[in-house]
Amino acid sequence: MKRAPVLPTEQGPFRADQLRSGDPYELSHGHAILCLPTGGRGARAINAGAKALGTDPAVQDVGFDTGFSLAPDTLRAPDLAVGKIPDEPGWVPGAPPLAVEYADTGQDEAQLAIKIRDLLEGGTRFVWVVRLTGPRRVEIYQPGQAMRVAHPGEDLEAPGILANPVPVKALYDREVSDEVSLRNLLQRHGYESLEAVQAEGEAAALRAGILEIFAVRGVTVEEEEQAMITGCRDLDLLRRWHRQAITAASAAELER
């Protein structure tokens, strides 16, 4: 059985307010932790994940390497943090509801385990660790629960944080991230899918076409009938009306 990471027995000397933006350190109970730059593969994966998560209809903000002051002596900066991020300088107080870490070649597993523990103890509800070495997978950590693993082909969920499930591959694969982002952006504008947008476009064209046919033929469309046509969203009915408008003596003859 894997043992929990052990922190130094003595409290470290540092506090979050002693660090400044750009310092290459995080803090765990007063102990400074050197944080090195992300490699190319990790950077590409993080960008894909940020897009998939940031476009979710329920998400306010996604921060890259944002410093969260979990306690006066603990400062953590997840690769991605989902939650409300103030538009002001300084560390963000508290913990992000969802934190995503990307683990690639050379990952210090002991330090990663301590970071996960710090985040969960600080109030983070979900920590997802995206593994970029070996079989691609996402480890899911929640307070008081055993770690679970999700594989490509499975979805990740964060109730109360994300509106939509997130395919595992969307956290590192650009094409899948693009598909998820398109769905999310359409939902932000009131459409469930690209098909719904296409259907609305066809409906608008049919409504305009019906009225144009009557106008060309010199058929008067009463106000009530015009409201009926312009308010219709039923594609099958609109297609039928479009055909009938070619020969109907009046809009009142359209089958309802």
User: pLDDT tens-digit profile of 173-190?
Assistant: 999 999 999 999 999 999
Looking at every residue in the chain, the average pLDDT score rounds to 93
| Lowest mean per-residue pLDDT among 8-12, 83-87, 145-149 | 8-12
- CATH number given to 16-188: 3.90.1570.10
Amino acid present at 49: G
Question: What beta strand segments (E) does the chain contain?
Answer: 25-28, 31-34, 62-64, 68-71, 74-76, 80-82, 92-93, 98-103, 126-131, 137-141, 148-150, 155-156, 166-167
Provide the pLDDT confidence category of residue 2 given band limits of 50, 70 and 90. Answer: very low
Report which of 133, 127, 142, 138 is spatially closest to residue 168, judged by C-alpha positions: 138
Provide the pLDDT confidence category of residue 3 given band limits of 50, 70 and 90. Answer: very low
Question: Residue 125: pLDDT above 60?
Answer: yes
Q: How far apart are the two ends of the chain, measured CA to CA in Å?
A: 69
Q: 241: which 2 tokens?
A: 């009306």
Please, where in the chain does CATH 3.90.1570.10 lie?
Answer: 16-188
Amino acid present at 58: A
The CA distance from 251 to 229, in Å, is 9
CB contact at 8 A, 5 and 110: yes
Query: Between 254 and 146, whose confidence is greater?
Result: 146
Amino acid present at 38: T
Average pLDDT over residues 43-59: 97
Query: Between 3 and 217, whose confidence is greater?
Result: 217
At 193 the pLDDT is 82
Query: Between 62 and 199, whose confidence is greater?
Result: 62
At 6 the pLDDT is 53
Give the CA distances from residue 128 to residues 118, 133, 218, in Å, rounded to whole numbers and listed in that order: 14, 15, 65
Question: Residue 156: pLDDT above 60?
Answer: yes
At 256 the pLDDT is 78
Instruction: Output phi, psi for 117, to 5 deg.
Output: -65, -45
Provide the pLDDT confidence category of residue 194 given band limits of 50, 70 and 90. Answer: confident
Question: Residue 116: pLDDT above 70?
Answer: yes
